[in-house]
Amino acid sequence: MSDKHLSSQFDTELNVISTRVLEMGGLVEVQVAQAVKALLGFSGEQASEVLRNEERVNAMEIEIDRELHSIIARRQPTARDLRLLIAISKAIANLERVGDEAARVARTVQRLMNEGVSSRLRLPMADLAFETDLAVAQLRKALDAFARLDVESALAVLKQDDQIDKEFDGLMRKLITYMMEDPRTISSAIDLVFVAKAIERVGDHAKNLAEVIIYVVKGQDVRHNTPEAVETMVR
């Protein structure tokens, strides 16, 4: 069998596994949006759907990881191909954790409903929805950048990460104000703090995906650097 044929087979395997990663990413993206929608509408049915999808996400992580080990053992890749496989391993770990955050929100919805908490409580739900929109958009941009191995798009994700952090900080201030003004909201507001933190972590995982893309393309580990420093490193 010629080297060219082997290379063609390897490229096909890489494309297949990369497509699986994007499928997993699309599923967790839906999970996050659906989990917060379940909270906003106090929908037990939607919360249950998020938890059912969590099982699918976990299964996909295991399947992709198994295939990664098989490819590495059979192909013994080097250089950029090896970096891509390592990056895929990191990517699916981050995506699985995004699914975990969505499941955490869904379980919060179920618990609030079981406790008879009213959806009419005066809490900044619109702010939470906006934070979620930002986080889901960041995740989508990171996945699009991963599909194209686009460093410029990955850099844009890193630069926009502080928007979610600022929204989270603003939401925390509002929640504290709500709790001070109406003690009846304290318990539910604390739950919302944990939900908001879960959404903020989704943004963190999107940032991690962006850093993985830069590692694949440029061969540089840019973790724990500011976006400005990263931009200088990859130019």
Report whether pLDDT(200) > 90: yes
The reported pLDDT for the residue numbered 90 is 94
Task: Please give the Cα distance from 233 to 225 (Å, whole number).
Answer: 10
The reported pLDDT for the residue numbered 107 is 94
Q: What is the mean pLDDT of residues 74-98?
A: 91
The reported pLDDT for the residue numbered 115 is 78
Kindly list the distances between the CA atom of residue 150 and the CA atoms of 146, 215, 229, in Å, as whole numbers in the listed order.
7, 11, 18
pLDDT 10s digits, 97-153: 999 999 999 999 898 888 776 555 567 788 888 999 999 999 999 999 999 999 999
The reported pLDDT for the residue numbered 16 is 92
The reported pLDDT for the residue numbered 208 is 96
Instruction: Report which residue type is found at 105.
Output: V
Q: Which of 18-27, 77-86, 124-133, 171-180 has the highest mean pLDDT?
A: 18-27
User: Tokens 């949006």 belong to which residue?
Assistant: 33
Q: What is the mean pLDDT of residues 178-205?
A: 89
DSSP, res 221: -
The reported pLDDT for the residue numbered 4 is 46
121 φ/ψ sector (left φ>0, alpha ψ -120 to 50, else beta): beta
Q: What is the mean pLDDT of the chain?
A: 89
pLDDT 10s digits, 144-185: 999 999 999 999 999 999 999 999 999 999 999 988 988 887
The reported pLDDT for the residue numbered 1 is 39
Task: Please give the Cα distance from 10 to 5 (Å, whole number).
Answer: 9
Tell me whether residue 178 is exposed, middle or buried, using C-beta atoms within 10 angstroms of its C-beta: 0 to 12, 13 to 18, 19 or more. Answer: buried
The reported pLDDT for the residue numbered 149 is 92
Q: In sequence order, what DSSP letters do the residues of 168-213 get, joined into one string? A: HHHHHHHHHHHHHH-GGGHHHHHHHHHHHHHHHHHHHHHHHHHHHH
Task: Please give the Cα distance from 30 to 107 (Å, whole number).
Answer: 16
The reported pLDDT for the residue numbered 3 is 42
The reported pLDDT for the residue numbered 120 is 54
The reported pLDDT for the residue numbered 5 is 42
The reported pLDDT for the residue numbered 206 is 96
Instruction: Report which residue type is found at 90.
Output: K
- Beta carbons of 35 and 103 less than 8 angstroms apart: yes
Report whether pLDDT(89) > 60: yes
Task: Please give the Cα distance from 99 to 162 (Å, whole number).
Answer: 22
The reported pLDDT for the residue numbered 2 is 41
**Segment (H or E) for 231:** helix 227-234
